[in-house]
Chain A
Amino acid sequence: MLAYILRRLLYAIPILIGVNLLTFALFFVVNTPDDMARLQLGAKHVTPDAIERWKVEHGYDKPLLLNVQASGSAQLTDTIFFQHSATMFVFEFGKGDDGRNIGNEIRTRMGPSLAIALPVFVIGLLVNITFALLMVFFRSTYLDLWGVVLCVVLMSISGLFYIIAGQFFIAKLWNLLPISGFAGGIDGLRFIVLPVLIGVVAGIGSGSRWYRTIFLEEIGKDYVRTARAKGLSEVRVLFRHVLKNGMIPILTGAVVVLPLLFMGSLITESFFGIPGLGSYTIDAIQAQDFAVVRAMVFLGSFLYIVGLILTDISYSWADPRVRLQ
């Protein structure tokens, strides 16, 4: 298995270079270093000299991909792409255009992102699986029917609506929780409850329907009939046997997103004032801060690859017949 993981990690390097190159190309198609300088320096009293100085100071005074004036390997290395990309492979992200250390920002913001994303993921998974199993238990009854209707209704509503409605009713009208904000430690719990609650509710519709489909497929199989024939209760059949055998597709969807939880949620963090990586990314895009955008895309790609590897590993754990080679 170790060899397999190592091989997969090595495969990741060209993927990450490709992603980096693509991000670089897309970013600089719409932004020139001059545009970035103007945005950072503001709209007033910006002189061409000031723009040049900003570019020199931030390392954007070099050619983008190929330095024809340099010789040898410097033609490739003395470029904006190389200077701003090479260090990322050792997770040195450098400074954002506002001068703040990106690595430090990521470390600081990861916690708040996880504080929301992890409970939403774990509680959401439990609630969705339980709800799906209950629908399967009551399959072909009015409870199943109305459960599916409820799921369709829930998944048809925009995520933004859940946030606005949740903030309006729970925090503003009923005064039960703070409408937004964040705090560290135990004091932070009261800020987390509302976004987590909304995150879980917003995910019930699609999650439960998906899991219901998986379980319905399992429930008709021979081993289920055998389990029932042995006299096991329906609860035991569902939660012990069907759930375990339905794990592979569940793992496919769940484990792959696990590392991405670090990246946070763009909208939720913005509305609830959570100082996480989601809001960091969206701020950087709005401010055309290429250094941060590039770092976050790189991190997202890396975590996605890690997620895929973890998914493969979890297959072998969930189903002993699967072997990683």
Chain B
Amino acid sequence: MKAALQIDGLCGGYKDRIIFNGLSLTAEKGKFTALVGPNGSGKSTLFRIILRGLKSSSGHILIDGRDTSGMNQIELAQLAAFVPQYYILPDGFSVKQIISMTDYARRPCSDSDVKSALEMVGITELENRQACELSGGEAQLVMLCRAICCRTSLILMDEPTSNLDIKAQSQLLRTARTLADEGRSIFCAIHDLNSALQYAQFCHVLDHGTLVCSGTPEQAITEDTLRSVFHSDARIFTEPETGRRIVIS
């Protein structure tokens, strides 16, 4: 079975600083794959390279088994949607108008498409609100709606919960997990390790542009990883009632 996202021997980064020197990883189809790592480990840079904001010097990026190097931006947009960490919501546009912008690379986005995405995320009341007046949490949920409306099998998410309160965080990640359970593939950079443990089905740990370990969240996020990658003496406990693993610093 082809992977939703496959990165092979990726080299690249910024003009004055190489971040990746042969990075290889995969995200399976229909799974919520988390990408964790400390600040500066290259998580956001990886998304920039996938979306062509930065050029790679060598290596391959395959989405649904198709090499993206020969594709134009529209073909790429038809394969992968994106939820950014930092976003701009321009003045005067309603939430509906922001979501409808997905029609640039694909068929027109109908009113019912917008409504069903808003319903799935649970923010139908925001449809006609001015996008620039939304709170940070609401805006990030709108970004997820826009990604849902793209109808791509792969959704990339770059630390979508980093500025959100606990309720908005769980609302967003729960929806992302539901999408994965329904067959979409989620590849999500997450800062909060407890969120990765709770929602992800697979996890990659990145440090200085290198893949340190991969596996189920329980296998990848261990006290050893916390010490060697995050330089933290945080402990991991198992909640007796649910059996869930929790990182406590």
Partners in one complex: no
Residues of B that sit less than 8 Å from A by CB: none
